Amino acid sequence: MRFSTPNCPECNEQVRGTFDRIPGIAELAKTEDGDFHYAGGTDVWWDDQHPVCDETGTKASLICPNGHRWFSEVDNLAQMHF
């Protein structure tokens, strides 16, 4: 894949990767008094992982090694939606 902006606009470092959303289920446990709390595990749905896109859906969110994020056009963005 090719990005129109492969280097970070803030620090000029090369892209580290795409910033993705990965859905999952955070497991809950019920306490004796009926409340719930996080049980500590998450069941991640890797097959539904996809990059975060801008509001037009034409640019993917990228991240550099320093943690800066920016949007860039991608030559095959449709293929990135797993």
Quick: pLDDT tens for 30-78. 999 999 999 999 999 999 999 999 998 889 999 999 999 999 999 876 6
- Number of structural domains found in the chain: 1
> Does residue 66 sit within a domain?
yes
Q: Domain range holding 56?
A: 17-80
Give percent above pLDDT 90 in the chain: 83
**pTM metric for this prediction:** 0.76
> Does residue 10 sit within a domain?
no
Report yes or no: 58 and 5 within 8 Å, Cβ to Cβ: no
> Does residue 1 sit within a domain?
no
Largest CA distance in the chain: 55
> Does residue 42 sit within a domain?
yes
Q: How far is CA 39 from CA 30, 61, 71, 73, in A?
A: 9, 31, 35, 39
